[in-house]
Structure 1
Amino acid sequence: MPTATSFGHTTDGIEVQLFTLRNARGAIATISSYGGTLTSLLMPDKTGQLGDVVLGFDEVSGYQSPAFRKSNPYFGALIGRYGNRIAKGRFTLDGQDYGLATNNGPNALHGGTLGFDQRIWQAALGTSAAGETLTLTYHSPDGEEGYPGNLTVTVVYTLTADNALRLDYSATTDQATPLNLTNHAYFNLSHGTSKDILSHEITLAADRYTVVDDTLIPTGELRSVAGTPFDFTMPHAIGERIAQVPGGYDHNFVLNEGLRVTASVYDPASGRTMAVMTDQPGIQLYTGNFLDGSLTGKNGTVYGQHAGFCLETQHFPDSPNQPDFPTTILRPGETFRSGTVYQFGVRH
């Protein structure tokens, strides 16, 4: 059965729980009630040795430290109401203008100043036919961070028998509201034996990406990846062409329709593989460009630039202001549902 232990206390004295899911193969996932944060994920390498493949901290204080809040990398957290950026922190919905906190230059990012990543989620442990589960629920009141509507979000983490971590998202609202939910795990499949992820080989089922301006807001153009450093339709090491991308990869890729495996990653050093499956229209590849060595995580690991990569399944950035993008508006009477699977394996 899954278990719960104390993960310490928040800066305002609330006790945070840490939940542990296991499977018969020895894989272990731990998730915090603070931010619904995936704090560790132990998966075997090609020799059968378990290693932690996500960045994070040993206790909740790490996620609230001044250094963490300053750089705000969102390690492992559930992101909402709106993952990624909204231009100038403004959108119009059904003729009404809404203003959000601008917490990323001129733009709103990842739900605002106090997004879902900093909230305490209600938790229930369980088991399903697929494996041990953790069900997390958060009620976001009307007006929170400037968003309309009372929103109820449920996220179910499942650690499956075949070494996959599944996230199932659902949400309902009593007023129309933008919604873009994701998880912001930073992966390093080498279990910290490599200080960066530049040698990881990645494949993306994406023929196009959303071109962005200098504040990382989409221009509206969906450009072909062909002949560019954004072409991962065949495997490429992350570091192979990253120098050709000013600042590194932090871009939304437009996923090809009808394909279930949307991304795959291989770490030659450990032999670990990770496949990402999702029903979302986009995936954000972020290569830890802003990590600068100011954060020390689990086992005393210093997180420098490119220490981890993110593959955030999502709708496109700034969709509320981009009518040609797939809609992110959830309306009363509707239920938002989405699933993302991180499937781990090895290559010998």
Structure 2
Amino acid sequence: MSSHLAFNRIIQQDFGQLTSGEFASLYTLTNANGMQVKITNYGAIIVSIFTPDKTQRLTDIVLGYDNVADYEADNYYLGAVIGRYAGRIHQGKISINGQQHQLTLNAPDSQLHGGKQGLNKQLWRAKTSENADTACLTLSYTSPDGEQGFPGTVNFTVNYHLNDNNELIVEYLAKTDQPTLVNLTQHSYFNLAGHNSGNVHSHQVAINADYFLPMNERAYPTGEIAQVDHTPHDFRQLKALAQDIDADNKQIAIGKGYDNYWLLNDNAISVQAFAAQVVEPNSGRRMTIYTDQPSMVLYTANYIDGSHIGKNNYCYQRRAALCLEPQRANNKEKGVTLDNTLLTPTQPFASTTRYVFDLIES
């Protein structure tokens, strides 16, 4: 399809009813090459991404569900925007300017990914726009003071842009009326061979990072900043996940695969600079991530257990996908501290991540 032909860059349709009685919508963004991204305003969730393989066959490359009811029941955070705080907060206890706050707990000893009713479980307001080469979906949600225990009323906006260069650009904005914590990320589960293609062991991954954060037995960063050199966590060159994903290594054992933070190198922290890349050799698909965030989680879906039926009645199994989650929770200057994620009324949060989809040269 050439760009001068008229076509609908954005189509809205019903995506089902929530237990609240509200209805969610599904928005399909299409570019001139036929690439499609489907997003629901429930949880600002990416439901599908259809990209071509080396034979130009379009395939859906993210895990997900066929209706909003399944997303409401989902506990894997498939495709969701995660917040207010992506990651674990020990005992749900935070201190801001000397004042203590108790967050709601949704894990045995922590608040995980913003709590039981985090941003991924909210219905966002939606607005669409398009121009000559881009479709844009703008999703907004106002999180009230005290939601899940967090102080401050925060206005969140996520812009999804799909352009004719096969780029999906995600912009995050947050404004607060009092000091609070915000750490946002996108939690899509990618399988570049197709969402129903088994495990991702053959995927090759590169991360532009010399350092990563070891975790303790309870999956909290220890505070140590470790070099990736001579460890299974060295992804400075493209490497098949299968090479080290079951290595005899304490960090691999704790995560049951990969599940750590990498601290991006200075030359990676820019929407113009390479942060991470994934290649699936059989299909020829390649995804390159550019971000202005200082850290990245690589998670290899180690806890998916076959109990969830996804799109097209496919049963997702362990390591059926990988997540690459840019975020600002940790950096090389301050290491691991909640102070990295402080949001104040005078300093709104703004961040951009680009996902570029293309093919390797055969």
In structure 2, what residue type is equivalent to 1:103?
A: N
Label 1:216 to 1:32 Cα distance change in 2 as closer, same or farther (>3 A). Answer: same
CA contact (8 A) 2:295 2:331 kept: no
Question: What are the equivalent positions in structure 2 for 1:142-181 lying under 5 Å apart?
Answer: 142-181=145-184
Q: Aligned to 1:304, which of 305, 308, 317?
A: 317
Matched with 2:261 is 252
Q: Aligned to 2:22, which of 14, 19, 35?
A: 14
In structure 1, what residue type is equivalent to 2:262?
A: F
Matched with 1:87 is 90
TM-score normalised by the chain length of structure 1: 0.95
Matched with 2:240 is 237
Structure 2 unmatched ranges of 5 or more:
1-8
180-189 or 236-245: bigger deviation: 236-245
Using CA pairs under 8 Å that are at least 6 residues apart, name the structure with larger relative contact order, 1 or 2: 1
Q: Aligned to 1:273, which of 286, 307, 310?
A: 286
The CA distance in 1 between the partners of 2:188 and 2:163, in whole Å, is 18
Label 1:271 to 1:335 Cα distance change in 2 as closer, same or farther (>3 A). Answer: same
1:7-36 deviation digits (Å, cap 9, x = unpaired): 000122110000111100000001001101
Measure how far apart 1:101 and its partner are. Answer: 2.0
Q: Secondary structure at the match of 1:296?
A: coil
Q: Secondary structure at the match of 1:165?
A: strand
Q: Secondary structure at the match of 2:70?
A: helix
The CA distance in 1 between the partners of 2:339 and 2:286, in whole Å, is 30
Measure how far apart 1:301 and its partner are. Answer: 1.4
Question: What are the equivalent positions in structure 2 for 1:16-165 lying under 5 Å apart?
Answer: 16-65=24-73, 68=74, 72-128=75-131, 131-165=134-168
In structure 2, what residue type is equivalent to 1:346?
A: L
CA RMSD for the aligned pairs? 1.7
Q: Secondary structure at the match of 1:270?
A: coil
Q: Aligned to 1:313, which of 317, 326, 339?
A: 326
Structure 1 ranges of 4+ moved more than 3 A: 321-326
The CA distance in 1 between the partners of 2:151 and 2:339, in whole Å, is 20
TM-score normalised by the chain length of structure 2: 0.91
Matched with 1:338 is 351
The CA distance in 1 between the partners of 2:171 and 2:132, in whole Å, is 15
Q: Alignment identity in percent?
A: 40
Label 1:121 to 1:193 Cα distance change in 2 as closer, same or farther (>3 A). Answer: closer
Matched with 2:212 is 209
Matched with 2:4 is none
Measure how far apart 1:323 and its partner are. Answer: 6.8
